[in-house]
Structure 1
Amino acid sequence: MKKFLLIFSLLVVSYVGFCQSRQLTGEVKSSFTNHSLPYVNIGISNKTVGTVSNEKGEFRLDLNEKVSPGDTVLFSCIGFKTEKYLVSDLSNQEKVIFLMPQSTVLDEVVLSAQKLKLKPKSIGRSSKGLGLMHSNFYSYYEKDVDDRLSKERGMKFKIRRACYLQDLNFNITSNDFKSLKFRVNIYKVENGLPTDLIINQNIIFEIKDTYLGWFKVDLQPYDIYIKDGIEEIAVTIQWLESVKTRANSKYFALSTASSLTHTAYFRDKAMDSWKDSGQNLSFYLNAMCE
């Protein structure tokens, strides 16, 4: 009986401690170099709990009422093996998470514009439209801009032919930020939703000084070649970091329009489930295609 009471007491203390600590903090590093890893995706699947590590590899993961001590936190970064930790293992103390490098074997691709007879092609919506609708990176429920860390917005593109991606363009309709850092993610599409990444480099860009209008991300340095046979891809931009112009800065949005034939993708946290909607963002690729 005493043994049972001791075990019960320990469980109660552990649970109370978990309830009192609704935030996990720590740092992510490479196990090979011991260097900090910036902008690592961190989250719990399907619990709307996620974030990214900052430029120094530090993270703060806020937990909600859906999370239990037995849930698994995933740490994912391009070029590294995904690590898994129980919430209970990360609670009540700051942790250093080490990720192991992962070698990526890619098919060798030799491009010759003359041999392949590549032609320029624009894929997506290159019009602002009337500017009556906006796809927002904020919501009424978000209290602070850090609530948006790891959030993604993007589009499904039909490729159909082998293409070499040159740049990504999108139209910004509101922007309250001195600096914004995003990451371009490119995914396979299976059963109508994004799945695995098909790039092996972080594509990070910065938007400065409350910039409005069309913004271009140069993709040519990354040699992104979409092979023939991949008919659909999802391209998103993911919120990584921001500097406000004012204490109450909140707004950042892209122009969009309702559509019965196009699909926009979004998720509010890393590792969360993807959602789709019948929208057509002012969001397009320039490419050289067969």
Structure 2
Amino acid sequence: MKNTLLLFVCTLVTQIITAQNINLQISDSETKESIEFATVLLPDYKKSFVSNEKGIFMIDTNKYKLPLKVIVEQFGFDQKEITLQNNTSAYNIFLDPATEVLQEIIIPPANAKIKERTYGRTSEGSGKIAGFFRSYNSENKDSGLEFGMILNTNNKLKKVKKIHWHIGSVGFIKAVYSLQFYEVENGKPTKRIPHTDIHFTIKNTDLGWNIVNVEDLNIYIDGSKKVAAILKTLKVDLNKKADDNYLGVNVGFAAGNVLTARDSQFEEWMKIPMNYPFYITVDSYE
């Protein structure tokens, strides 16, 4: 009798815990394939998150009360808004592809002279001033922190070949980041420039210069003199043995190629008169 009662209590507790969470499965409406690292917005709480690489995101309904408005978006798809109800434990969300944001096909001028140029901060610095973009934990690791630099370039057509990022110190095990280029107005990122996704992983052993070769992705930037190179946190594997799961870089004060960041899509971009070792190598058509 005691064993039966204990089993009943355990089952009841398990059901209660399960009911506290709602799982979202985000997929492509045409291919039915999962959409990795989609953005999940909770406008009533002004919170933004990122789904995992399988398009799954779990919402804690103890923290975010039902009924709950949820907006799901991913670059290249139409945004979708739903309302989560009390009697729903799981949702399959299908996003429709958006044709208006397809990457433009650019043919470089045949008679142009190609010069390799670099834009950003190429020196790694002395290491005397360290900056930390995030102390990741279980509460904020899925929030999709965005940070990057406003790069001063030229007014020529440019093909991006390589991304260079110097890492000073790492507290987590590994993290996945995306890189997206933005147009710039009034010193802040505005409209995203359509191009193939750039995803890469930083491990706690990847200290020093990390180079990502993107030449085969055919990413072109038009004659804009300023462009924002924005890194977004997609996934973090926390080091449970570490006191702090941080990402550290060498920073310095700067008037050009300055740092910009935001914690959430509901926040304005912050412009900070500092920079860190990060630059792009391009072919400039002049």
TM-score, L = length of structure 2: 0.80
1:224 matched to 2:219: yes
Residues 121-180 of structure 1, C-alpha deviations (whole Å, 9 max, x = no match)? 1101011112122332324xx642753541111000122322111111111011133332
- Of residues 118, 122, 135, the one that matches 2:131 is 135
- 2:233 is matched with 239
**1:93–1:64 CA distance, 2 compared to 1 (3 A):** closer
Structure 2 runs not aligned, ≥5 long: 1-18
User: 1:33 Cα deviation (Å)?
Assistant: 1.6
Which amino acid letter does the alignment assign opposite residue 126 of structure 1? T
- 1:286 is matched with 281
Separation in 2, partners of 1:85, 1:128: 46
Q: Is the 8 A contact 1:25 1:59 kept in 2?
A: yes
TM-score, L = length of structure 1: 0.79
**1:237–1:62 CA distance, 2 compared to 1 (3 A):** farther
Higher share in strand: 2
Q: How does 1:57-76 map to 2 (within 5 A)?
A: 57-61=55-59, 73-76=70-73
- 1:96 is matched with 92
Q: How does 1:1-290 map to 2 (within 5 A)?
A: 25-44=23-42, 49-61=47-59, 73-86=70-83, 89=85, 93-103=89-99, 104-111=101-108, 115-139=111-135, 143-144=137-138, 146-147=140-141, 149-159=143-153, 160-228=155-223, 230-248=224-242, 250-289=245-284, 290=286
User: 1:55 Cα deviation (Å)?
Assistant: 1.2
Separation in 2, partners of 1:84, 1:250: 33
More displaced 10-residue stretch of structure 1: 162-171 or 252-261 = 252-261
**1:278–1:99 CA distance, 2 compared to 1 (3 A):** same
User: 1:56 Cα deviation (Å)?
Assistant: 1.2
Which amino acid letter does the alignment assign opposite residue 265 of structure 1? T
Separation in 1, partners of 2:31, 2:198: 21
The CA RMSD measured in Å over matched residues stands at 2.9
Separation in 2, partners of 1:234, 1:63: 36
- 3-state SS of 1:233 partner: strand
- 1:4 is matched with none
Separation in 1, partners of 2:35, 2:86: 18
More displaced 10-residue stretch of structure 1: 264-273 or 195-204 = 264-273
Separation in 2, partners of 1:213, 1:150: 24
- 3-state SS of 1:251 partner: strand
> How many residue pairs are counted as aligned between the two chains?
264
Aligned-pair identity (%): 24
